[in-house]
């Protein structure tokens, strides 16, 4: 009898558990159906009669795609390319990686005179400052010298000699990609010479030159900045110089000297292939997104965001660097006084005709979402940003009212429909969450 009662109890507990899980599943599907309809409605916009858009939303918690529209259409990412660069760099180099600028000397000290040369080897550190130059100069004084008879040489061989990225517009005010600068200016040797003189060291006919450090040079000092320090400015304010420096740090990990953009692309493609996509389907030109030759998909961006979210070492470094909606960085003035404020963490992108946004947010049900949006062919960038902001507000659980509830007409056909119906059944909503790759 006891055995029978026990088995009966187990049976009814199993039934209750199944019913509870079924109810949760039904609730989850219902919520997703509503989300899909709202996103469908946002795509019913005259903006897309003359422009393209790629949109993908992925539920990281449930590990499923919620919404896909033109998710494999190749589009230019603008500064969302910095997500590709940063996630690849953190994957390849790790969050403890440091940028290094090193000072060496050759020759001998006779009395209090260094008869030899000073070599500064640049590591393409975008954060190198006047204070760092002071530190480097002080290390020379610590040799116990009061004069130098030789040369001060800038070694910029860390990277290839190309000053600009592939596909950059010649008439834009772009930073020169030099491996040893102060404040992005090509004035390192003169600045170091001035600081050495300020410390009371006499420069006896010293020449300022560019060259390569010889193998027998002795190390004097190293100035370092962490990859996370570089990442913060690179992402928060979308600094292109910082992004290109990170691109070349990734390139240098291959071991070639000097490092090349080809090396960086090779590392990026290996990661893309490892994550299950075909790297040959994309065009990687630079690290900042300035190039006209970059072509990616929202699927690629979301795949990289998923990889970062699933890898604690990457997520811990990346998440604090992303602009926060209505709070800081390039999203400071966007989505204020909405449910997206303080919730959305994402990278923005803006070029002529391009507006993009990709990152993370938390849905109303507590699930973590990754999303990517690229608007291409829009001459008024504010229209693209407005669309992206509305998408984010919907993802965060906000009801936009009539604008998000109106029926979907067949003008853009953003999702699979049955017949000429304006609304979808639950089955078609499920289809909307599956990658479809429709292109317009």
- Are the C-beta atoms of 133 and 195 separated by less than 8 Å? yes
Percent of the chain's residues with pLDDT above 90: 78
Q: What's the confidence (pLDDT) of residue 405?
A: 37
Name the band, by pLDDT with cuts 50, 70 and 90, for residue 33. confident
Name the band, by pLDDT with cuts 50, 70 and 90, for residue 4. low
**In sequence order, what are the beta bridge partners of 355?**
350, 375
CA–CA distance, 169 with 123 (Å, rounded to integer): 26
Name the band, by pLDDT with cuts 50, 70 and 90, for residue 11. low
Q: What's the confidence (pLDDT) of residue 396?
A: 97
Which tokens sit at 191?
């600045």
Q: What's the confidence (pLDDT) of residue 311?
A: 98
Q: What's the confidence (pLDDT) of residue 226?
A: 97
What is the DSSP secondary-structure string of 406-436?
SPP-TTT--S--STT-SS--HHHHHHHTS--
The 10s digit of each residue's pLDDT in 397-415 is 999 874 433 333 333 333 3
Q: What average pLDDT does the chain have?
A: 87
Q: What's the confidence (pLDDT) of residue 31?
A: 63
Which tokens sit at 127?
């954060």
Q: What's the confidence (pLDDT) of residue 416?
A: 35
The 10s digit of each residue's pLDDT in 252-269 is 999 999 999 999 999 999
The 10s digit of each residue's pLDDT in 208-229 is 999 999 999 999 999 999 999 9
CA–CA distance, 79 with 220 (Å, rounded to integer): 38
What is the DSSP secondary-structure string of 142-199?
TTT-SEEESEEEEE-TTB-S-SS-TT--TTS-PPP--SS-BTTBS-HHHHHHHHHHHT
Nearest to 55 by CA among 391, 324, 334: 391
């Amino acid at each position: 009898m006891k055995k029978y009662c026990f088995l009966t109890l187990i049976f009814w507990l199993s039934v209750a558990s199944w019913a509870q899980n079924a109810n949760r599943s039904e609730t989850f599907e219902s919520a997703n159906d509503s989300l899909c309809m709202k996103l469908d409605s946002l795509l019913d916009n005259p903006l897309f009669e003359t422009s393209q858009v790629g949109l993908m939303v992925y539920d990281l918690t449930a590990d499923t795609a919620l919404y896909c529209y033109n998710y494999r259409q190749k589009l230019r990412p603008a500064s969302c390319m910095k997500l590709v660069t940063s996630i690849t760099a953190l994957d390849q180099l790790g969050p403890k990686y440091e940028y290094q600028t090193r000072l060496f000397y050759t020759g001998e000290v006779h009395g209090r005179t260094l008869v030899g040369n000073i070599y500064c080897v640049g590591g393409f550190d975008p954060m190198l400052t006047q204070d760092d130059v002071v530190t480097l100069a002080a290390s020379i004084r610590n040799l116990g010298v009061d004069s130098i008879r030789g040369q001060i040489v800038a070694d910029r061989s860390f990277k290839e000699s190309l000053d600009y990225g592939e596909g950059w517009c010649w008439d834009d005010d772009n930073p020169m990609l030099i491996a040893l600068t102060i404040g992005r200016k090509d004035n390192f040797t003169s600045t170091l010479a001035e600081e050495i003189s300020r410390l009371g060291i006499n420069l006896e006919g010293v020449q300022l030159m560019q060259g390569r450090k010889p193998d027998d040079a002795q190390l004097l000092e190293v100035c370092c900045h962490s990859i996370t320090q570089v990442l913060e400015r690179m992402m928060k304010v979308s600094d292109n110089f910082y992004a290109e420096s990170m691109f070349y740090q990734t390139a240098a990990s291959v071991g070639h000297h000097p490092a090349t953009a080809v090396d960086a692309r090779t590392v990026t493609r290996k990661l893309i292939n490892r994550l299950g996509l075909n790297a040959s389907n994309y065009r990687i030109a630079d690290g900042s997104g300035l190039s006209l030759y970059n072509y990616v998909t929202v699927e690629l961006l979301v795949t990289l965001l998923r990889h970062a979210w699933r890898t604690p070492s990457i997520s811990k470094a990346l998440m604090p660097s992303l602009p926060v909606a209505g709070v800081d960085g390039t999203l400071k003035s966007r989505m204020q006084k909405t449910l997206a404020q303080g919730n959305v963490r994402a990278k923005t992108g803006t070029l002529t005709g391009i507006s993009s946004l990709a990152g993370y947010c938390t849905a109303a049900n507590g699930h973590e979402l990754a999303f990517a949006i690229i608007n291409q062919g829009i001459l008024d960038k504010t229209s693209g940003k407005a669309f992206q902001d509305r998408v984010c507000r919907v993802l965060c659980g906000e009801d936009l009212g009539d604008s998000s509830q109106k029926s979907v007409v067949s003008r853009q056909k953003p999702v699979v429909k049955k017949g000429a119906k304006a609304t979808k059944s639950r089955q078609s909503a499920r289809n909307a969450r599956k990658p479809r790759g429709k292109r317009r």
